[in-house]
């Protein structure tokens, strides 16, 4: 797009950003924001340009989102990001297909493309939550609990970013007769609706994870109760055996002591006591 002055800076620490800042009169604090990553989504208006911090999705990284900074002037557009940004190539191709000749429309395409990347991530969260719900019912184990907390942290981050991006889009829509044309308001409203939907789904998925966590804790508690019940049954069964063996272990003259079959009689008595205990538990419905 040779007719549009679009400058893309892939390294915030490069001298190219300083040269563009001096050429177009960019504020030093905003240049500093570009170099110190982890800024909140925001839009700041100056006399001759708009500075916007967007949040683009990162793939295969610990940090889910990274800053994507945009300076929009009347005759220039500057994008600043760290490392590769596939969204740049996508916007360029789409702008060429649509024959875009306005810089503010390029800004809209950037915002739209960045927000569209949130939806596939939500679909992935939905699949993970479905797998977690199955796991907590079938085999609740510590790795499942760890996965629940990881997803909850990601959803909290997504909701925070979505709310911040929603404020950015709302600010761009409320501008009248500025660097962003009023005819783009319907398009930004569509992006705003996507962000509202993203925030709502993030909150819904977080509630589902909270429910899965409750199911996990209940399942673990039920399994613990089952184990304790079995152990209690074994202990109760062993109790009459301990009494009988302790009784006949005394150094006294007792029944069957001189009898050659005394061991068999005592063993039979112990077997009968076990059967009676098991019958009593079964009658009570305890196992």
Rounded distance between C-alpha atoms, residue 110 and residue 4, angstroms: 15
Q: Please tell me the predicted confidence (pLDDT) of residue 195.
A: 93
Q: Are 198 and 118 in contact (CB under 8 A)?
A: yes
Q: Please tell me the predicted confidence (pLDDT) of residue 59.
A: 63
Q: Which CATH class is domain 231-284?
A: mainly alpha
Domain ranges of the chain: 1-97, 231-284
Between the alpha carbon of residue 62 and those of residues 150, 161, 269, the distances in Å are 11, 16, 66
Rounded distance between C-alpha atoms, residue 200 and residue 195, angstroms: 9
| DSSP category for residue 74 | S
Rounded distance between C-alpha atoms, residue 154 and residue 160, angstroms: 10
CATH of domain 1-97: 3.30.460.20
Backbone angles phi, psi at 57, to 5 degrees: -75, 135
- Distance between terminal CA atoms of the chain? 77
Residues of the chain with pLDDT under 70: 1-3, 59-63, 176-177, 250-254, 257, 286-287
Q: Please tell me the predicted confidence (pLDDT) of residue 243.
A: 77
Rounded distance between C-alpha atoms, residue 56 and residue 58, angstroms: 6
């Amino acid at each position: 797009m040779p007719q549009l002055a679009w400058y893309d800076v892939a390294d915030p620490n490069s001298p190219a950003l300083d040269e563009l800042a001096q050429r177009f009169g960019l504020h030093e604090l905003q240049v500093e924001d570009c170099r110190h990553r982890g800024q909140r989504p925001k839009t700041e208006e100056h006399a001759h340009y708009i500075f916007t911090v967007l949040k683009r999705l990162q793939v295969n990284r610990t940090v889910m989102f990274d800053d994507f900074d945009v300076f929009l002037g009347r005759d220039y557009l500057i994008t600043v990001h760290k490392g590769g940004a596939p969204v740049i190539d996508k916007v360029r191709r789409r702008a060429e297909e649509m024959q875009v000749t306005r810089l503010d429309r390029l800004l809209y395409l950037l915002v739209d493309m960045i927000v569209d990347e949130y939806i596939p991530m939500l679909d992935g969260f939905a699949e993970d939550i479905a797998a977690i719900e199955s796991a907590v019912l079938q085999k609740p184990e510590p790795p499942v609990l760890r996965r629940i907390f990881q997803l909850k942290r990601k959803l909290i981050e997504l909701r925070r970013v979505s709310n911040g991006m929603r404020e950015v889009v709302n600010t761009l829509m409320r501008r009248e007769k500025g660097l962003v044309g009023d005819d783009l308001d319907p398009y930004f409203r569509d992006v705003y609706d996507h962000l509202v939907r993203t925030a709502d789904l993030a909150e819904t998925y977080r509630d589902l994870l909270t429910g899965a966590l409750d199911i996990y804790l209940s399942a673990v508690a039920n399994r613990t109760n089952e184990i304790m019940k079995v152990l209690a049954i074994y202990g109760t069964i062993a109790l009459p055996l301990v009494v009988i063996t302790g009784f006949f272990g005394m150094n006294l003259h007792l029944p069957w002591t001189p009898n050659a079959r005394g061991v068999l009689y005592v063993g039979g008595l112990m077997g009968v006591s076990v059967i009676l205990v098991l019958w009593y538990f079964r009658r009570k419905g305890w196992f």
